Amino acid sequence: MTQPLIRLRGITKTYGQGATALQALKGVNLDIEAGDFVAIMGPSGSGKSTAMNTLGALDTPTTGEYLFQGLHVETLSRDQRARLRRRYLGFVFQGFNLLARTSAQENVELPLLYRGEAAAARHAMAAKALESVGLKGWEHHTPAELSGGQQQRVAIARAIVTEPAVLLADEPTGNLDTQRSREIMDLLWGLNVNHGITVLMVTHELDMAAYAKRIVRFVDGVVASDERNEHPAGLHAAPPVPEAH
């Protein structure tokens, strides 16, 4: 059998020491196959955000093993984890995290700039990413000139411009209305199904989690349930990316 893209074994995370120590993760075991779409849910304090930070190589576990394509991530240095993120991972946040006075094109080019890509390559790759999220023609607009839905699309374009293996989305629809939320979820579904990007998404909204192929629920620092979603909402999504609003 081939190994999963991601494997967590006995992952714990403790913050602080002694009487004030907080154990956020208490022995997490989780396998994620390439091409999966996983919604991670759980109440506040359940450990889901800590698990996402671990999966995104933004934080290291206290104990346990994290294997990414067979590589032991928990043994990597800070610089090595940064290289892993630049090459394999894309991130989307609830707050968009766009540079305010910078155009959509320039925002999307940022990861390529950090990676040392030449200007011509950056321009072409960013334009392609923006077109893939339905924002062709909006390249020179700043975030202030874009709607919330458009800003999140720019953030998604920035996350996928490096063609990552995994897209980690933390409450990607948290700041959007229902219609824009569905458009973003349709977009994530398309990236997963049509481009083979593995999607890991933290959400507290059941109707957004319904798009996932699998729903993992955290409670008190452990995986309480892990279920396949036989009828993901994305199957009924409109095939093309909706027009920009």
User: What CATH number should be reported for the domain holding residue 33?
Assistant: 3.40.50.300
Structural domain count, the chain:
1
Domain that includes residue 134, residue range: 6-236
Does residue 187 lie within any of the structural domains?
yes
How much of the chain is in helix, strand and coil states, percent to nearest 5?
A: 40, 25, 35
Supply the pLDDT for residue 191: 93
Does residue 96 lie within any of the structural domains?
yes
The pLDDT-based confidence of 176 (bands split at 50, 70, 90) is: confident
Closest CA to 184 of 55, 192, 11: 192
How many other C-beta atoms lie within 10 A of the C-beta of residue 228?
A: 10
> What is the spatial distance between Cα 245 and Cα 239, in angstroms, rounded to a whole number?
17
Segment 74-107, tens digit of pLDDT:
999 999 999 999 899 999 988 888 999 999 999 9
* Residues forming a β-bridge with 12: 26, 63
Does residue 108 lie within any of the structural domains?
yes
Does residue 1 lie within any of the structural domains?
no
Does residue 195 lie within any of the structural domains?
yes
The pLDDT-based confidence of 54 (bands split at 50, 70, 90) is: very high
Average pLDDT of the residues of the chain: 91
Tokens at 3, concatenated: 């190994």
pTM assigned to the model: 0.90
Instruction: Indicate whether 243 pLDDT > 70.
Output: no
Instruction: Identify whether the C-beta of residue 157 lies closer than 8 Å to the C-beta of residue 139.
Output: no
How many other C-beta atoms lie within 10 A of the C-beta of residue 39?
A: 24
Tokens at 77, concatenated: 């240095």
Does residue 245 lie within any of the structural domains?
no
